[in-house]
Amino acid sequence: MSLDLDVLSIAAHPDDTELTCGGTVIKTVEAGYRVGLLDLTAGESGTRGNAGLRELEAAKAAKIMGLAHRENLLLPDAGIEDRRDYKLKIAQKIRELRPRTVILPYWEGRHPDHYAAGKIGYEACFYAGLARLALEGRPHRPRKIIYSTLYVPSLRPTFVVDITAQFEKKLKAVLAYSSQFSDRKDMQNLFPAREDLRERVASLARHFGLMIGARYGEPFVTTEVAGVEDIVKMPVRSI
């Protein structure tokens, strides 16, 4: 049975979506769309927490965001690679979930799992539409693929989503991952203390919000050019 999602976010680890585009996900849910999330790994190789704990945290965050569906493919953490079997597993889920739009991690970055997820995620979207490929279900290819770029703040985005009204709920979803916070001063560069997290999340969201005249924003990139129907009503002032 297909779920016919409007939007599917594919992320390498539990909490990646919440951190990079959680506000956009929440805003899309609030607009009445069916939104799902596909985590590729359980985050079992991370320094803090464990797979079981992070699964509970992910379920809590999903409820906060109002997701219609969330599941984990259980690919190896710190081991997402350019493998055909991984792509076919994702492609199978795309056929089952049938999203109109897919959000992927940007294809460059610090963490190999993040940019690998973006690459194989794109190829999986293509494979899911091949009628003769040995996958179950009807062929399906998302109409739109967008890339979340918050982890690459130096990159100029194609567009920014205003998440001012959704910021507090985004922060609540991020805070659901309590295993990822630190109470030790010497660990706060990698694992911020709970009291410092709001400032960190807000500073990045404020940076991108300013680009569009909003308080908080989340950045995205597309590989294709956007079409404009009415140049008089284009958002964001030029001067």
At 192 the pLDDT is 62
Q: Going residue by residue through the chain (239 aa), what tens digit of pLDDT does each one get? A: 568 999 999 999 999 999 999 999 999 999 999 999 999 999 887 656 688 899 999 999 999 999 999 999 999 998 999 999 999 999 999 999 999 999 999 999 889 999 999 999 999 999 999 999 999 999 999 999 999 999 998 999 999 999 999 999 999 999 999 887 766 554 445 556 666 888 989 999 999 999 999 999 999 999 999 999 999 999 998 88
What is the rounded distance in angstroms from the CA atom of residue 171 to the CA atom of residue 193? 14
Q: Is 95 exposed, middle or buried (0-12, 13-18, 19+ CB in 10 A)?
A: buried
Taking the domain 7-222, which CATH number applies? 3.40.50.10320
**In this structure, which amino acid lies at residue 62?**
A
Strands (E) across 44-152 are located at 69-75, 101-105, 144-148
- pTM here is 0.93
Measured distance CA(54)–CA(15) in Å, rounded: 9
Contact 15, 181 (CB under 8 A): no
pLDDT at residue 49, as a whole number:
63
The predicted structure's pLDDT at residue 65: 98
Domain spans, the chain: 7-222
| Start-end of H helices in 75-222 | 84-97, 112-127, 167-175, 194-211
